[in-house]
Amino acid sequence: MVSEEDKKKHLYTACSAWYNTPAGEFALQKLDDKITENLTGIFGYFALEAGALANTHSFLETSSVDTCFMLGRDLDIERKHATPCVKAEMEALPLDFHSIDLVLMNHVLECSTNPHQVLREVDRVLVADGHCIIVGFNPLSFWHHRRSFCETNPLSSPPRLYGVSRVRDWFSLLGWTIHKISYVSFRARFMKGNFFNRLEKMEKWGSLYWPIFGNLYIIHTQKQVAGGIIRKTMWDTGKVLPPKIAINPTPRSPQTREQK
């Protein structure tokens, strides 16, 4: 019997393998451009990146956030990469409440057994007005089928694909704002060589006339908190708010009895 840990590992491997195909290599270049556009204007102290490409590629190299780090369950800590690495699960982040300014996830929802918990954890660790960027396979793609994106391990089922409308509904339940939705890559993974190059016009036509059928989607969202930024307030218990009305003491306190 295959454990949940092994299944998840196979799913991440299958998703990352797609980027070794001509369609995946082309899509990765377009993802870099689109994500760089979304990163413009996002500032802060800490940014977190996680997903199927954690061992091979970083999208946050152009980020203006001060400190960026990679998080994953099977990261190669010894690899020579400028981005610091932390081994952890997205369903249980070892991070404090309201401590992260930006979260970028690629194919995390597809590979997770509990995507709702992933989003709850992201909501917990993000600061008020923090940003989240999600990259995922599009089930409305021209080549729609889970196996068309990933070569599945015999011991594991294909990754479950979540469409843009469903992910958008999940964020609306959290009260988040959707800033931008983009689509990239319109050619199938099995196209190679001259056949792949001859269909280059599909990329131009797809982005102009049928963008919602791209292989990948990018969703840029922002956490919204009623009342603005949450800050801890230190109350002075002896301070009078309006004249003659104090927070403390109460009518039963010794101080009040002495005044009487």
pLDDT at position 192: 74
Domains of the chain: 4-234 (3.40.50.150)
Alpha carbon distance 244, 74 (integer Å)? 62
Alpha carbon distance 229, 122 (integer Å)? 17
Sign for the CA dihedral angle at 29, 109, 221, 53 comes to negative
pLDDT at position 244: 42
Q: Is the pTM of this model over 0.85?
A: no
pLDDT at position 43: 95
Alpha carbon distance 84, 121 (integer Å)? 21
Task: Tell me the C-alpha to C-alpha distance, in Å, between residue 89 and each of 17, 156, 158, 248.
Answer: 21, 19, 20, 46
Per-residue pLDDT tens digits of the chain, which is 260 residues long: 567 777 788 888 888 888 988 888 999 999 999 999 999 999 999 999 999 998 889 999 999 999 999 987 665 544 545 567 888 889 999 999 999 999 999 999 998 989 999 999 999 999 999 999 999 999 988 766 555 566 555 545 677 889 999 999 999 999 999 999 999 988 877 777 787 777 787 888 888 888 899 999 999 999 988 655 544 434 344 444 344 434 444 444 455 445 54
pLDDT at position 153: 54
Alpha carbon distance 178, 132 (integer Å)? 10
Task: Tell me the C-alpha to C-alpha distance, in Å, between residue 37 and each of 33, 159, 250.
Answer: 6, 28, 57
pLDDT at position 256: 46
pLDDT at position 201: 79
pLDDT at position 157: 67
* Two structure tokens written together for 134: 């999600």
pLDDT at position 148: 55
Cis bond upstream, residue 249 (ω within 30): yes
